[in-house]
Chains A and B, each alone.
Chain A
Amino acid sequence: MTNVSMTVNGKSVSGEVEGRTLLVEFLREGLGLTGTHVGCDTSQCGACVVHVDGKAVKACTMFAAEAEGAEVKTIEGMAIADGSLGTIQQAFQDYHGLQCGFCTPGMVMSAAALLADNPRPSEAEVRSYLEGNLCRCTGYHNIVKAIMAASGQSVEPVAAE
């Protein structure tokens, strides 16, 4: 076991991990931050997406010890300080961008990474960026609408109804 320290959602944290401990295991089981989900555990589905030093990564495909000293942000860090929903989260609610909600933490974190790089993406860019996030309920259209709305753009052109 080795000690690992990092900043998660602005707070300094540390804990004992094995070499094989995945970042998602450290977040969920070590820190109790169970908002980050494990869907496939094979880096296909994107339910475990978090930000490490500002970049979207799949927390099931990175070792906790690799995040030593990093700034990590999870879905729990997306709410506003008073506890109300952040802009992207609110847009997911407003546009019904979720049904069962299992993929939503990863969707929101991917959307946040996209908008940080590209504040006004086209619909095609949104769909392309979400290639690594699978949703089995919504058919994606309302997720795309939510992200277009969160970026301050019209949702009217979004393809299917």
Chain B
Amino acid sequence: MHNFELVKPTTIADAVQALSGEDAQPLGGGQTLIPTMKQRLAAPARLVSTLGIAEMQGVCTDDHGRICIGGATTHASVTAETASTFPGLSGLAAKIGDPAVRNRGTIGGSVANNDPAACYPAACLATGATIVTDKREIAADDFFQGMFATPLEEGELITEIKFPVPQASNYQKFEQPASRFALVGVFVARFGDGVRVGVTGASEDGVFRWSAAEEALSGNFSAEAVSGLSLPAEGMIGDLHGSPDYRAHLVKVLTGRAVTAAS
């Protein structure tokens, strides 16, 4: 790995200042970024650690009833702190990676990376979450722009993510057992005015909403409502772990399981 300067600010303002330098990049828990740097696929001149920024840690509820999670909150903290208020999200966070990864990895880091097989993006899309940065607020529907692509600008920092809390929700992940990423993951969220379905791991365009299932489930929230649907295999990821047809099939199966398990 190329060498770099590690900066550890304690406020968002200091982090933003440090990120204005050339080739500076935020560092969350580093569970993706450090392996990426070891392969020399990333070589920042400066890393700005977010884990020491108290105002980016923890979970709270805002005036609109949304669950607001600081960008530097670890997956383990999300699991513990949303267990009673948002069990769908807590369950998702509890299955990311392994316990040691969950003790370091952060929600802001995961969302900023927009890995096509990451778990959190499915929850963000399915709940219509808002991604808050030091500069602006971005709707989840506008944020996930394809594999690893986001509207984040150079040095822009995710400070918080705000989740509208569904009446019922569940995340089902079919795990790729070596990486523990989602071979396919489906987050189903039922709100008073309809159902949203976020799918990760499956598409060559990254996380997406399965609108046909949303329509069917909004009329009839049961696994049977999606059993007759079929998702085209075109555009699905095909690799040694699963063909496009297999992934398309898994999307339907997991959507049904998530609906049945939703609480």
Contact = CB atoms under 8 A, between A and B. Distances in A.
Bound pair (A, B): yes
Interface of A: 2, 18-20, 22, 41-44, 46, 49, 55-58, 61-63, 65-66, 68, 110, 113-114, 129, 131-133
B99 to A, nearest CB: 6
Contacts of A43: 31, 34-35, 100-101
List the 8 closest pairs (A to B, CB-CB), nearest first: A132-B98, A19-B6, A55-B103, A131-B98, A19-B4, A56-B100, A58-B100, A20-B3
Contacts of A55: 76, 103
Interface string B1-21: 111111010000000000000
Given A61-B35, A66-B49, A132 B101 contact: yes
B97 interface: yes
A19 B3 contact: yes
A29 to B, nearest CB: 15
B51 interface: yes
B101 A58 contact: yes
A95 to B, nearest CB: 22
B100 A42 contact: no
Given A18-B3, A66-B51, A61 B98 contact: no
B127 to A, nearest CB: 26
A127 to B, nearest CB: 12
A42 B99 contact: no
- Most chain B C-beta atoms within 10 Å of own C-beta, residue among A20, A22, A63: A20
B41 interface: no
A63 B35 contact: no
Interface in B85-116: 97-101, 103-104
Contacts of B179: 44
Contact of A63 (B2, B6, B76): B6
The range of chain B's interface size is 20 to 34
Contacts of A114: 99
Contact of A66 (B6, B37, B99, B103): B6
B99 A56 contact: yes
Interface of B: 1-6, 8, 30-31, 34-35, 37-38, 47, 49, 51, 76, 97-101, 103-104, 178-180
14 contacts: A19-B5, A20-B1, A41-B38, A46-B98, A46-B100, A56-B103, A61-B31, A61-B34, A62-B30, A62-B34, A63-B34, A66-B6, A131-B99, A132-B98
A110 B103 CA distance: 12
Contacts of B100: 43, 46, 49, 56-58, 110, 132
Nearest to B39: A42
B33 to A, nearest CB: 9
A16 to B, nearest CB: 13
A61 B4 contact: no
Contacts of A133: 98
Contacts of A49: 100
A57 B38 CA distance: 18
A61 B178 contact: no
B32 to A, nearest CB: 9
A56 to B, nearest CB: 5
A65 B51 CA distance: 12
Contacts of A66: 6, 8, 30, 49, 51
Contact of B104 (A22, A62, A113): A62
A42 B38 contact: yes
A135 B47 CA distance: 33
A41 B35 CA distance: 8
Contacts of A58: 100-101, 104
B47 A19 contact: yes
A56 B74 CA distance: 13
